[in-house]
């Protein structure tokens, strides 16, 4: 079986996507959920660059992936800051407990 570089990258991106979704489904910790989102963003990054290379314009893929990278980093930063603040105020990072809190 002769796989092209694009196919290899897309299979790898699908694998990372599966791992990220698995993390989102089984995690109850807010920080670990942010970590799973990071894995999902890595999959998107990889797919964009591979598609850019396959289209013959690696710069286009890189420029799109850079936007994803910036947005992904900001999601991580704000998510982590939110997690720290939630922990300070409620004493837990468990999303199940947080969904029960009222007022």
Partner 1 sequence: MPVLLLLLVAVVFAVQAVRSGSLLASALWLAGVSALTATVLYLFGAAQLAVIELSVGTGLVTVLFVLAINIAGDDPLTPHPLVPKGLAAGCCLLVAGVVAWMALSSASAAAGTFRAADLPLAQMLWQRRGLDMLLQVVLIFSGVLGMLGLLSERRSPLDGGLAEEVAEGRDRDLQRLENQLHEKPEAGQ
Query: Residue 11 or residue 102: which is nearer to partner 1 going by CB?
Result: 11
Q: How far is the CB of 50 from partner 1 (least distance, A)?
A: 6
Q: Are 58 and 5 in contact (CB under 8 A)?
A: no
Q: How far is the CB of 1 from partner 1 (least distance, A)?
A: 11
Distance in angstroms (rounded) separating the CA atoms of residues 44 and 30: 22
Give, as ranges, the residues between 26 and 65 that touch partner 1 (CB under 8 A).
Answer: 26-29, 31-32, 35-36, 38-39, 42, 45-47, 49-50, 52-65
Distance in angstroms (rounded) separating the CA atoms of residues 74 and 79: 8
């Amino acid at each position: 079986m002769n796989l092209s570089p694009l196919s290899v990258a897309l299979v790898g991106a699908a694998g990372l996507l599966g791992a990220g979704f698995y993390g989102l489904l089984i995690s109850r910790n807010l920080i670990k959920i942010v970590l799973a989102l990071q894995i999902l963003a890595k999959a998107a990054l990889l797919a964009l660059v591979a598609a850019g290379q396959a289209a013959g314009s690696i710069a286009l893929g890189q420029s799109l992936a850079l936007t994803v990278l910036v947005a992904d980093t900001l999601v991580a930063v704000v998510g982590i800051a939110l997690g720290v603040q939630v922990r300070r105020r409620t004493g837990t990072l468990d999303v199940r407990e947080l969904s029960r809190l009222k007022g």
